[in-house]
Every structure is written in structure tokens, then in C-alpha cells.
Structure 1
Amino acid sequence: MAIWPAQWLGLVLLVSVWGSSAPASLLRRLGEHIQRFQESSSLGLGLSPGTVAIPKQGWLEQPLDPFNASDRRSFLQRYWANDQHWTSQDGPVFLHLGGEGSLGPGSVMRGHPAALAPAWGALVIGLEHRFYGLSVPARGLDMAQLRFLSSRHALADVVSARLALARLFNVSFSSSWICFGGSYAGSLAAWARLKYPHLIFASVASSAPVQAVLDFSEYNQVVSRSLMSVAIGGSAECREAASAAFAEVERRLRAGRATQAALRADLVACGSLNRAEDQAEMLGALQALVGGAVQYDGQTGAPLSVRQLCGLLLGGGSNCSRSTPYRGLRRAVQVVIHSLGQKCLSFSRAETVSQLRVTEPQESGVGDRQWLYQTCTEFGFYVTCEGPRCPFSQLPALPSHLELCEQVFGLSASSIAQAVAQTNSYYGGQTLGATQVLFVNGDIDPWHVLSVTQVLGPSKSALLIPGASHCLDMAPERPADSPSLRQGRQNIFQQLQTWLRLAKDSQVRGGI
């Protein structure tokens, strides 16, 4: 089942302007903003008639429960196709997997893997993840439906989509299918090769956190280290300024109602900061803001780079007053909310819970309810800041994260811990047994510590790019790209060349 709409660009330009600003939500909104900015900017370069083929949007009818043949319910899963470089039916297919958000036409038009397609005459297809974007089952997001949302269900979709798309596009049986993905979708790419090696020839997994973890305290440890990296504009003074800024925020929270009111105005909060739980939400969101500057450092569309953030925190000079870091953090908040198109930031825990309980899908949103459900039932990934190496507020954040799973879904802390352990047991964590997978990471990206950064064997490759942030290798190329990033992309190209040569040799041997 395929649908080809005449107008698609409007979908690219949608930017979420929700008021929710829980820590994880703010990071996800930054990621969505950057993705949409890059897609709209790059696609806009070639929209004059005849200059570039418009990507095709289609829909596949997928079983809601692929593990129960007697269940006849189904949903429509969206995909995008770019066949402008596809030279023959036996050419390779680059399957770009979507993750925890909407997948737009830019996934098959610009950046990686689309930039790699011309060299091999590849067909590029982007597959949106079930329950995200427009690929949401008709009955919505209630608990009865969400039990069909998991990485295992998503991998089953990859299998049925791969078979259906091969028929739809008349792809040769001898064609090599290579999965690409970034972040959670990068994990899916690696797991697709692990679980279905007879259908997926190889995978490129960018910034893929294949190790599930309940307490992700290492996230802020990497943020702290990256804030001191001179190569990206950080310094020891910047790291200390970040600590001083958070200390000043906490001092003002304790100083009384009048000072709290001034703090609320400084940080453009939508409501009061009287409740302890709302104060914790605010501190967590500020940590996410600083973490986002590191996670998305140097990316087109990112509101703040590490260099810019450090410039704000240090006030542009060496003789900084005690209040300079606080004023810099306040300015950083203003920059980010302006970039996201929001008037204020909500730090209300009650509002966060209320929004996460909404079961109607948000077409232009990033799927907060769905992703929270996946973290509660599979991955954890809860960013905390309790150790001495964390430069931010020392708060017992893990109980708050676990309580959110209870408040929204009724899931206990023990069940979440058990789910994380089961995920690692099922996929193998950082020692997964898949071959012909290339793991690509940046060493300033906080998520690289949950990925694979060392070569595990002759057919289990890993690439760690100095100074690169989260999924930066997948972004469109720019003149300002660092030599290490350019070399990293060249290494990806060479690995694909090796794999596809292997596939061709295998076909020749098989035909003799």
C-alpha cells in the first residue's frame, strides 16, 4: 500500500512548541529542533523544478502484533524513498531506520546515508518507527496499545518492511540491504544485523547506546570532561563556572520568596517555583540545557555550542565576578527558549505528568509519552548527577525518574530494573555478537560510553571520532567540518566499500 502526496515540505518545517520542559523532554526537543533545521535547510537548496527528485512518501500495512499470527489488527507505517541514484535492480539498498521521533524526507535526501548513495547507485529508504510521527496505530497511545511498542516490535517491522519494499521496488534477490541509524535507531540498526543476518547484510550504527542502564550518571561525567576540552572551546575555568552558576541558582532557591520570584523571571519560568518537586525539575532542565550544548556541539541548528556556552558563563573575560556565571546561565536559557520558539519554560512536575498521560498522538511532537514508556520497559537511560565529578546540582534524581514511570504507567521501580537487565541479556549489551556492524561515535558525546568504541574482531568495527558530538557523522557535510570528522566519514565510506566488494565477490562465487 503506497501513497504519494503532492506536498511534503510542510512536514519538514514543523517545530514542536510544547511547554513541557522536563529534563529528558528538553534534550529531545533540542534534538528535534536540530534535525528539522538541518532537513529544511538542506532540502531548501534543491527544490527548484527539475533540480532534484522529490522523495516519495509511502505507507506499509504492518501487523500490530507481529508475534501473534491470529491477531489481525494492523497499522500504517510511513516510509520515504529516494531512487534518484538507484541505477539497477541489483544495486544495494540503504535502509535508514527511524527512532523515537518523526522521520521526514530529509532522512533520504541529505546527510548520511543519502550522501553515500551515489557512489554505489543505492536506493535509499527511510522507515519511520512504529508509534512515532505519523506511524501511530488508530487507537492511540493507551496502555493496551503501548504493549506493542518495543525495540523487538520495531525490528519485526524492519523485517516485514524489508520484504514488502523489495517486492514493491522490484529489488533483486542479490541486492545487499544495509541498515543505518543514529542514537536509539543506531542500536536498532546493529540489532537488526544481530537478529536477522540473513536479511540485513551489514549495518552502520551511529552514536548507538546498545548498553541499557538504569542510572546513567556517566552522562554528566562526560559533559563535565567535555566542558574542559580546549579543542571545542572548553576549559577548566568553564567547568568551574558551570558549577558556580548552579550553586548560585540553589542559593537563590533557598533565599526566600522574593528571591525565588526574581529567579523565576530570570529563568523565564512559566509558573512558580514554590514546590520542591518543581525546583528539582528546574535544576534538571538546566542540567539538560548544559548537557545539550555538549551533546549537540557544533551541529547546524544547535542553539549553543560548548564554545558559546563557555563564553556566556565566563562573561567574555578573565576577571569575572561571582554573579557572572549565573548571568551567563540565564542568558543561555534565553537563547535556547528563543531557538525553540517558546515563550517560557514549564518546570511543573504536575504539568509534566499530566501531559505524559495524554493518550492522543501529537503529530508534530517528539513522542514524549512513547519514549518514556520505552525507557520504563526496556532501557532506563536516566541521567543523574549524584557523584563528586558532576559539576551540577547534587540531587537524588533516580528516584524521581522511577516515580515518573509509576505515576504515568503504574510501573514499579523493580520492574524497570528487571526490564533493563532483560534488554542487555536479549541483545548482549556492549558485547553483542553481530558481525559486519560499524559503530561510529564522537568522543565528546555523552552517549558514547554506552556504545561500542573498540574493535571487537575482524568483522566488528568501531570508529571513535575526536571532537565529534552526537550523530555528527550523519549530518550534512559542511566546509567547517573538522579534519577528524572528514576522516571519519572517509573511514565509513571505506568500510562500506569493503563490505559491498565482499558481497559482489560472494555473488560471483555463488554464480560459478
Structure 2
Amino acid sequence: MDNRNGKTEGARPGGGGGGGDAEGGVTGEEVRAPRRWRAEAPKTLRSPAASAASLLRRLGTHVRQFREGSGLRLGAAAPPKEGWLEQPLDPFNASDGRCFLQRYWVNDQHWTGPDGPVFLHLGGEGSLWPGSVMRGHPAALAPALGALVVGLEHRFYGLSVPAGGLEVAQLRYLSSRHALADVGAARLALSRLFNVSASSPWICFGGSYAGSLAAWARLKFPHLIFASVASSAPVRAVLDFSEYNDVVSRSLRNAAIGGSSECRAAAAAAFAEVERRLRSGAAARAELRAELGACGPLGRVEDQAELLGQLQALVGGAVQYDGQAGAPLSVRQLCGLLLADRSNCSRLGPYGGLRRAAQIVMRSLGQRCLSVSRAEMVAQLRDTAAPVSGVGDRQWLYQTCTEFGFYVTCEDPGCPFSQLPALPSQLDLCEQVFGLSASSVARAVARTNSYYGGQSPGATQVLFVNGDADPWHVLSVAQALGPSEAALLIPDASHCLDMAPERPSDPPSLRLARQKIFQQLQTWLRRAKESQVTDGI
């Protein structure tokens, strides 16, 4: 096999993976994926589980697909290569010989050779597409720095799902700690497969949850990962994420991105009108269902809460992905809809704008209606069959219940939306789906912060990049913690915006931030060369 330019897939047919200590990394085996894993699953679910978190994740998937899905339509000289690593299901138990196949993508077009740097783009809670190594800022940096770009899909997501379904006993092997063990194993295995020099610096990139993994990979494996760029990385776990809507509310007033105090007031009025109609009897609820495109009736309180949560996620999504290619709505567009009927005194007012916003988002996501049935959502989340979509709702719910929390609430007096769904109903999902009590979820969140250090992780050579319009930046590191824990806070920027492909419309603040990221990488790579000389390499 040509380790540089040859086909990276199918180098060895199977073979058992061994166990080992996660801190040292477990070596992986490269294999050919079974045929049943070959075809990508459908990109859109017609009847998705009804939850605000699910809608936000589908918006994120839609934006990433738009951004990365065009990576192979750019006339590239060579498409990225797909490969598979055989990884231990339980890397913390050397006597457990069970394995799964983990997918990766490789772009070696700009690699200067075995001594060149390697950019390891980590996948998060969803599929990783070939565009992950062809499009976006990490890939755009490769030509100037001569880097090999590798994208590693997260275990239990996309096509990297272990055989055996998603029973709770199987999901025990889904956690950030297991994912980090995979990173260490992949780092060692891929170094062998591509003849990467022992002196080559490996730099992790990731956005959102994968950004946290990038930072933690450097924290836990400083001997394997030389540095990391962590974009929009929520490194602090939190049970009640009320701060999310604090930022959404502030962003709706931000004139720099099209917001205003009138827009924020209109959003509050729209939600007040929805709640008024929900309280006004069966006829009013039936009319509301028809106007908002709800899939089912709205008689049950729990179904009303799901509707309000999805509408809240719709507004939050406009802020979270503001200005990004593929996003159905920007803040400016949303505010335009909410304020459109002020002049003609329409009876619909801001509520009519919210209704139109819901129609736009549903159409963009390929959904025929807003699924509001709590019972249907619980039934879907209890389904333990192999997933039919790369979104992975059951898997991500499990991770929030056992590690992170991240439950967005609106119970503070200043929140402009509905107080529903409240935190207890969100925590109750962990009980209904996995049998996990609210107290166990709270303990899990505390353990995560204790293990990784929360917003003071103590990792060196990590650059945290955030946008101050992104609701998730409040859980990340927005200010430098020291000379080796740098941070960039981009004014008016949304979630993971720095990782997107460059566009002529990019504001100067974003261009400057990308320039600083490039300069930081140059500094790190210079440091790597200096250490090679010092060590006599």
C-alpha cells in the first residue's frame, strides 16, 4: 500500500482490536467497512422527534451539510479518501475484545510529506461528511501550511455505530471519554498508515461539542496532540442552561446583526399570543395548530410545551446560526418578519411573523409539519434499533443525561419566550427513556466539570474561538487564561462561524479572527520545529 497517495481503505481485512489505557491511547486497525454500512442514510427525517434540542440539532446539521456537502463540487483534483479503523468498543478494559468500525476522511492534496503537520478535524454528535476535510477554514489553512487533513467521525454517530443497536447496555460505551480514547488510538494508527514522522505536530480542530473534544484531547493527550483550535466549545457542563436565552434575547436587540429593542418586544408578544390561544379553548387551539403547521392536536399540556419549545428553538436557531450559508433565517430576516405588520395594523402582528418564520424553517428542513406529540417523541427516543439518520437524537440525549445537561430553559423573568418546557419536563426525558433520575443527571454534570476542569481546563497550546452572538459562548473560554491558553471573541459572530468557508461578505472582524488563527498556527508550528532541533531530531 502507498501510505501517501494510495487508497487508504481496505488495507487489512478485520483483525481484533486490543484494549488498553486511554491515557496512552489504543492502537486501531484499518479495515474495509461491511457493505451494510456503505450507503449514507437519508439526510432528512419527515417525522422527527419533537423537542427543541432536536430542532436546533437539525438546524445545525442542515448548515453543516450545506457548508460541507459542496466540498466535492468544487472541481477538486482528487476527492477525499474514505477509511475505516477498527477500534475497541471498551478501550478501558483490555480483556474486552469487542470492536467497532470508525470512519475517517483524508485530504492529502496539500501535504508536504511525512514531516508535515496533520490537522485532525474531530466529528461531533452527527455524521461527518467528506466535505469536512475539503471545505471550511481548517481545510483552507492546509495549502499554506502543508498539512494533511483528517476528519474522524465520532463513535455511535453517522456510520460509526457499533453493531448491536442502541440499548442502554451498549450506550455505556458512548461518552466523551470513550471518544477521546478513539482520538488517541486514531492518532497512533493513522501515523503508521500514512508514515507520518514522529516529529510531525498533530493539531486538533473541532466546533461545538467537537470543539470541547479538541480542547480535551490536548488536555488529556499532550504527548499525542501538539495543539488544538476549539471553536464554540462548551467546556462547562450545566444542568439548567438559562444563559442560552439570555444571549438570544440580547442578540435580538443587537442592531449590528439586524436586531432592535422593537424586535425583542415583538418576539415576546408573539409568544404571548401563542400562549393566549393555547388557553382559549379547543377551537382556538385547532386554529393555532393549522396556522403553525403542528402535526397533531394541542389539547395536552405536555404537547403544548413541546410546541412552545420548538418555536423557542426556531428563534434561538436564527441567533445561533445567524449569517451562515444554509441557515433558513438570520436575525435580520427574523426581525423583519416579526415587525412586518406594524404599519397595516394586521390582526396577526408579531404572531404572524413567527408563523411565517416557522413555515420557512420547516420548508428548509424538509419537514411537512411541527411534530408536537410528547408521547411520540418518547417512543422514538426509546427505539433502540440501528439509527436511520445521521442526526442521532437518542445518542445525544444519552450524552446530555450522562455528561452534559445543556437543557435550555426560559424561566427567568427577563426571558422573552414561554416558560415552557420547564427544566423538570426536560429532565423527565432521561427518566422516561433511560431510567435515569434527575439527581443522577445533576451528579453526572458535576463529574464532567470535575474531570475536565469546566471553564478552566488547564490545557496548554489551545486556542478557544467564539462569537459573542453565539448563545454557547457563555459555556466556553472567552478570555485568555494565560499565555498558552489563548482566546478569541469575535464581535457579532455566531456559532462556529470561524470554521465556515470564507465569503466575500465576511465582516472585517471575522477576517481578522481568521488571520489571528493562522498566526497562532504559525507560532505553534515554529515552536514544533524548534523543539525538534532542541531534541536533536
TM-score w.r.t. length of structure 2: 0.92
Residues in 1 aligned to 2:168 and 2:257: alpha-carbon distance in whole angstroms: 44
Residues in 1 aligned to 2:138 and 2:34: alpha-carbon distance in whole angstroms: 23
Among candidates 66, 80, 85, match of residue 37 of structure 1 = 66
Provide closer, same or farther for how the CA distance between residues 320 and 196 of structure 1 changes in structure 2, counting only shifts above 3 A: farther
Among candidates 447, 459, 465, match of residue 440 of structure 1 = 465
Among candidates 387, 397, 422, match of residue 397 of structure 1 = 422
Residues in 1 aligned to 2:315 and 2:221: alpha-carbon distance in whole angstroms: 39
Q: Which residue number corresponds to residue 17 of structure 1?
A: 46
| Aligned length in residues | 507
Q: Which residue number corresponds to residue 490 of structure 1?
A: 515
Correspondence 1:131 to 2:160: no
Q: Which moved more, 1:35-44 or 1:337-346?
A: 35-44
Contact kept? 2:219, 2:458, Cα under 8 Å: yes
Contact kept? 1:216, 1:383, Cα under 8 Å: yes
Q: CA deviation at 1:15?
A: 3.5
Q: CA deviation at 1:510?
A: 1.6
Q: Which residue number corresponds to residue 464 of structure 1?
A: 489
Q: CA deviation at 1:395?
A: 3.0
Q: Which residue number corresponds to residue 535 of structure 2?
A: 510
Q: Which residue number corresponds to residue 60 of structure 1?
A: 85
Q: Which moved more, 1:182-191 or 1:500-509?
A: 500-509
> Once the two structures are superposed, what CA deviation does each residue of 1:121-157 show, in whole Å capped at 9, x if it has no partner?
1000000000000000100110110000000000000
Query: What is the SS of the residue equivalent to 2:73?
Result: helix
Provide closer, same or farther for how the CA distance between residues 344 and 139 of structure 1 changes in structure 2, counting only shifts above 3 A: same
Query: What is the SS of the residue equivalent to 1:45?
Result: coil
Q: Which residue number corresponds to residue 228 of structure 2?
A: 203
Q: Which amino acid aligns with 2:274?
A: V
Residues in 2 aligned to 1:464 and 1:291: alpha-carbon distance in whole angstroms: 20
Contact kept? 1:376, 1:405, Cα under 8 Å: yes
Q: Equivalent residues in 2 for 1:402-417 (5 A)?
A: 402-417=427-442
Provide closer, same or farther for how the CA distance between residues 85 and 16 of structure 1 changes in structure 2, counting only shifts above 3 A: farther
Correspondence 1:251 to 2:270: no
> Once the two structures are superposed, what CA deviation does each residue of 1:427-486 show, in whole Å capped at 9, x if it has no partner?
000011100000000000000000000011011000000011000000111111111111
Q: Which residue number corresponds to residue 126 of structure 2?
A: 101
Q: Which amino acid aligns with 2:57?
A: R
Contact kept? 1:183, 1:206, Cα under 8 Å: yes
> Once the two structures are superposed, what CA deviation does each residue of 1:317-340 show, in whole Å capped at 9, x if it has no partner?
556556310000000000000001
Residues in 2 aligned to 1:340 and 1:201: alpha-carbon distance in whole angstroms: 38
Q: CA deviation at 1:11?
A: 4.4
Q: CA deviation at 1:43?
A: 2.8
Q: Which moved more, 1:59-68 or 1:320-329?
A: 320-329
Residues in 2 aligned to 1:508 and 1:283: alpha-carbon distance in whole angstroms: 60
Contact kept? 1:201, 1:436, Cα under 8 Å: yes
Contact kept? 1:190, 1:203, Cα under 8 Å: yes
Q: Which residue number corresponds to residue 194 of structure 1?
A: 219
Correspondence 1:224 to 2:223: no
Correspondence 1:351 to 2:376: yes
Provide closer, same or farther for how the CA distance between residues 57 and 42 of structure 1 changes in structure 2, counting only shifts above 3 A: closer
Among candidates 295, 298, 313, match of residue 273 of structure 1 = 298
Correspondence 1:264 to 2:289: yes
Residues in 2 aligned to 1:68 and 1:226: alpha-carbon distance in whole angstroms: 47
Correspondence 1:169 to 2:198: no
Q: Which residue number corresponds to residue 57 of structure 2?
A: 28
Q: Which amino acid aligns with 2:458?
A: G
Contact kept? 1:213, 1:380, Cα under 8 Å: yes
Residues in 2 aligned to 1:430 and 1:170: alpha-carbon distance in whole angstroms: 36
Q: Which residue number corresponds to residue 386 of structure 2?
A: 361
Correspondence 1:299 to 2:324: yes
Residues in 2 aligned to 1:508 and 1:100: alpha-carbon distance in whole angstroms: 39
Residues in 2 aligned to 1:247 and 1:209: alpha-carbon distance in whole angstroms: 31
The Cα RMSD (Å) is: 1.7
> Once the two structures are superposed, what CA deviation does each residue of 1:277-307 show, in whole Å capped at 9, x if it has no partner?
0000000110000000000000000000000
Q: CA deviation at 1:349?
A: 0.2
Q: Could you list the runs of 5+ residues in structure 2 that have no partner in the other structure?
A: 1-29
Q: Could you list the runs of 5+ residues in structure 1 that have no partner in the other structure?
A: none
Contact kept? 2:123, 2:206, Cα under 8 Å: yes
Q: Which amino acid aligns with 1:124?
A: V
Q: Which residue number corresponds to residue 111 of structure 1?
A: 136
> Once the two structures are superposed, what CA deviation does each residue of 1:180-239 show, in whole Å capped at 9, x if it has no partner?
000000000000000110100000000000000000000000000000000000000000
Query: What is the SS of the residue equivalent to 2:535?
Result: helix
Correspondence 1:310 to 2:339: no
Query: What is the SS of the residue equivalent to 1:461?
Result: strand
Query: What is the SS of the residue equivalent to 2:70?
Result: helix
Residues in 2 aligned to 1:504 and 1:9: alpha-carbon distance in whole angstroms: 40
Q: Which amino acid aligns with 1:125?
A: V
Contact kept? 1:314, 1:320, Cα under 8 Å: no
Q: Which amino acid aligns with 2:366?
A: G
Residues in 2 aligned to 1:396 and 1:358: alpha-carbon distance in whole angstroms: 23
> Once the two structures are superposed, what CA deviation does each residue of 1:229-275 show, in whole Å capped at 9, x if it has no partner?
00000000000000000000001001111111000001101110010
Query: What is the SS of the residue equivalent to 2:480?
Result: coil
Q: Which residue number corresponds to residue 5 of structure 2?
A: none
Residues in 1 aligned to 2:109 and 2:388: alpha-carbon distance in whole angstroms: 28
Provide closer, same or farther for how the CA distance between residues 10 and 115 of structure 1 changes in structure 2, counting only shifts above 3 A: farther
Q: Report sequence identity in percent.
A: 78
Q: CA deviation at 1:88?
A: 1.2
Q: Which moved more, 1:354-363 or 1:106-115?
A: 354-363
Query: What is the SS of the residue equivalent to 2:455?
Result: helix
Contact kept? 1:11, 1:104, Cα under 8 Å: no
